[in-house]
Amino acid sequence: MIATARVSLTATRTCPDNNKLVAVTTMSPAGCPHVNGFKVDNWKQNLRVIYQCFVWSGSAETRKRKAKSCICHMCGAHLNRLHSCLYCVFFACFAKKHIHEHAKSKRHNLAIDLLYGGIYCFMCQDYIYDKDMEQIAKEEQRKAWKMQGNTVLYRYTCVCVWEKYSTWEPTKRELELLRHNPKRRRITSNCTIGLRGLINLGNTCFMNCIVQALTHTPLLRDFFLSDRHKCEMQSNSCLVCEMSQLFQEFYSGHRSPHIPFRLLHLVWTHARHLAGYEQQDAHEFLIAALDVLHRHCKDDNGKKANNPNHCNCIIDQIFTGGLQSDVTCQVCHGVSTTIDPFWDISLDLPGSSTPFWPLSPGGDGSALNGESHTTGATTLTDCLRRFTRPEHLGSSAKIKCSGCHSYQESTKQLTMKKLPIVACFHLKRFEHSAKLRRKITTYVSFPLELDMTPFMASSKESRMNGQYQQTVDPFNNDNKYSLFAVVNHQGTLESGHYTTFIRQHKDQWFKCDDAIITKASIKDVLDSEGYLLFYHKQFLEYE
C-alpha cells in the first residue's frame, strides 16, 4: 500500500536490505500517513479485539486463547518480542525479523507489539504514536486490569487510587497552569524545602512539635500538595483547609519561621479542652487534631459517612489501624473477639505503677528487630511484647461468657489486626494516678526500622495452631516500618518543653525546636528519650 506522504527530508534511515538511505517522516503524535490506510471500515472495533485477545487479556477465556495462540508462526517461539500483523492473523518474532519478512511479502505494513501494545510501521521503520490508537490502547489496558482486579494475589493497599498505576499525564487545564507558572523548583539532596521553624505563641510547643511531625508525614504531604482537599464547609473554620495552608507555607521555600496563630485559634475553637496558655500534652493534641481533621474531612467524600468506623478520609487511610481484643474464657475456652480502630498505641513503661512483667530475654520480636538485651535497656519491642501478651483478668474482673452463660475468669489479649500506614507509638511517660503525678524518664531504645509481624493477630493465630517456628517470609514487606519522626519532652511534669526530630530525604534528620531548626545525626535521634514515635510503612502498593 503506497500512500502519498508529505515526507520531511530532515530524517533519514538506512534501509537494512540495501543499505541505501531512505527518507522517512519524522515521528509526531499524529501518527504516520501509512496508518490512514488501516483506519477504514470498522477499524476501531477490530483493533480493540486485538488488544483484548492478544495484548491485555482480562478474562480467563482470552488468557487461555492468548497462551495457546501467541507463538511465532514461523519458528514457534513465544519470546523474541512477538508482534501481530494488523492486517491478518499472523504472529511472528520481531527480534528474529520474522514479522519483517511477513510485512515485506504480504505488504502488510503495520504490526502490534504483543507485550506493550505499541504499533510498528514497516514503512517508517519505527513505532508510531497515533492519538486515536493510543486512546483505544489505554482504555483496553484499563479494562483488562479492572477485570483482573478481583483475582489479584498480591494485596495492594489503597491510597486514593483505584486504578492500575500509570504514569501521570497532565490534563489540558494542568498544561495551562504549568505554562502560566513557568517557575520550577528542583529538589536536590541538600535542599531544605519543607523545613520551617514555628514561633512559640506562649507554651505552644505542644502544638508545634505535632505540626512538625504531620508536615513531614510523606503521604499527608502528598495529599495536601496535590490539592486533594475540596472543602465543603460553609464557614472558614475548616481545619483541613488550614492544614493545607500550613503545607503551602512549609513548602514555599521561605526560611523565616512561620507564625501559626490561625491554626492555634482553630484548635481552640474545635478542641476546647486544649484552649488556654498552659502547657498541654502533645499526645492529647495529636489525637484531638486527628479527630477534628477526620470530622472535617468526612465532607470530602461527597457522601457523609454514616458509619464512623468506615470513613475513607485521608486521616483514616493513613492513621487508622485495627486493634483486635480476644477474651478467652478460662472454663470453656470460648473466645470473644472485638476489633477497635486506633490512631496510636499507648505503651506502659517499666517503673510505672502498672505492673510491667519481667520479660524473658529473647523470644520472638527482639531477634527480628535486631535488639540485644545485654545492655539491659528496655526496648520498644519489649513494650510491644508486653502490650500484646495475654493478661489474666483476675477473679475480681469476671466476664460474662456466652458459652458458659455465667461469669467466669478469663484472659485478654491484644494484637494488631490491621496496621495503619503511619503507626504512632505513645510511651506513657506521664503518670497521673491518685497518689502521684510524675514523669517516667526511663530510657527506651527504639529502632530505625521496625517489623511488626510478631505482634499481628495473624502471627498469634499461627502460634496457637502450633506453628511455633514461624517461617518468616523474607519477601513479605507488609509489616516493615521506618522511623520518620520523634517527639521528645524535656523537663518535668510541671514545666517542660517539646521538640521533634524529623526525617528528610531518606537519611537526613533535623531537630525542630520551635523556631530553630538544626541538623541532627541518627545517633542523636536514637539516643533521645522518645515520647511519641512515628513510623511509616516501608512499602506501599497501589490498589
Partner 1 sequence: MSKESRMRATVNQKLTEMGERERLKELLRAKLTECGWKDQMKAHCKEVIKEKGLEHVTVEDLVLEITPKGRALVPDSVKKELLHRIRAFLAQHAT
Determine the interface stretch with partner 1 among 75-83, 279-287, 393-401, 498-506 (rule: CB under 8 A): 75-83
The dihedral through the CA atoms of 206, 208, 212, 215 has a sign that is positive
Which C-beta is closer to partner 1: that of 118 or that of 496? 118
Dihedral angle computed from the Cα positions of residues 519, 521, 526 and 530, in that order, rounded to the nearest 10 degrees: -10
Helix H or strand E segment including 346: strand 345-347
Which C-beta is closer to partner 1: that of 69 or that of 346? 69
Q: How far is the CB of 450 from partner 1 (least distance, A)?
A: 19
Residue of the chain from 22, 77, 493, 522 that contacts partner 1 (CB under 8 A): 77
- C-alpha 492/C-alpha 442 separation (Å) is 13
Cα–Cα distances (Å) from 366 to 48, 103, 178, 383, in that order, read 55, 64, 50, 11
3-class SS of residue 498? strand
Angle at 534 between CA 251 and CA 323, to 5 degrees: 130
3-class SS of residue 415? strand
Does 15 help bind partner 1 (rule: CB under 8 A)? no
Which C-beta is closer to partner 1: that of 67 or that of 331? 67
Q: Which three cell numbers stand for residue 175?
A: 498544561
Determine the interface stretch with partner 1 among 68-76, 102-110, 174-182, 194-202 (rule: CB under 8 A): 68-76
Which C-beta is closer to partner 1: that of 125 or that of 325? 125
Helix H or strand E segment including 64: helix 60-69
- C-alpha 93/C-alpha 103 separation (Å) is 12
Determine the interface stretch with partner 1 among 67-75, 341-349, 423-431, 462-470 (rule: CB under 8 A): 67-75
Angle at 251 between CA 222 and CA 497, to 5 degrees: 100
Q: Is 205 an annotated catalytic residue?
A: yes
Does 259 help bind partner 1 (rule: CB under 8 A)? no
Q: How far is the CB of 12 from partner 1 (least distance, A)?
A: 7
Kindly report the backbone phi and psi dihedral angles of residue 407, in degrees, each rounded to the nearest multiple of 5, phi listed first: -80, 125
Which C-beta is closer to partner 1: that of 164 or that of 438? 164
Cα–Cα distances (Å) from 368 to 46, 245, 419, 426, 525, in that order, read 55, 41, 18, 21, 21
Residue of the chain from 67, 89, 178, 516 that contacts partner 1 (CB under 8 A): 67
Q: How far is the CB of 68 from partner 1 (least distance, A)?
A: 7
- DSSP code per residue over 166-198: ------HHHHHHHHH--------TT--TT---B
Q: How many residues does the chain have?
A: 543
Q: How far is the CB of 15 from partner 1 (least distance, A)?
A: 13
DSSP state of 456: B
Binding to partner 1 by CB under 8 A, coded x per residue (else -) over 514-543, reads -------------------------x-x--
Q: How far is the CB of 18 from partner 1 (least distance, A)?
A: 18
Which C-beta is closer to partner 1: that of 61 or that of 232? 61
Q: Is 160 an annotated catalytic residue?
A: no
Query: Helix, strand, coil shares of the chain as percentages rounded to 5?
Result: 30, 20, 45
Which of the residues 109 through 148 are near partner 1 (CB under 8 A)?
118, 125-127, 148
Count CA atoms within 13 Å of residue 146 on its CB side.
10
Binding to partner 1 by CB under 8 A, coded x per residue (else -) over 25-64, reads -x------------------------------x--x--xx
Q: List residues bridging with 82 in a β-sheet.
A: 93
Which of the residues 148 through 207 are near partner 1 (CB under 8 A)?
148, 151-154, 164
Does 255 help bind partner 1 (rule: CB under 8 A)? no
Residue of the chain from 11, 22, 199, 515 that contacts partner 1 (CB under 8 A): 11
The single residue of 32, 93, 205, 424 carrying the catalytic annotation is 205
Which of the residues 362 through 421 are near partner 1 (CB under 8 A)?
none
Q: How far is the CB of 64 from partner 1 (least distance, A)?
A: 5
Which C-beta is closer to partner 1: that of 82 or that of 289? 82
- In Å, how far from its chain's centre is CA 440? 34
Which C-beta is closer to partner 1: that of 62 or that of 328? 62
Does 107 help bind partner 1 (rule: CB under 8 A)? no
The residues annotated with a catalytic role in the active site are 205, 497
Where on the chain is the footprint of partner 1 (CB under 8 A)?
10-13, 26, 57, 60, 63-64, 66-68, 70-71, 76-79, 118, 125-127, 148, 151-154, 164, 475, 539, 541
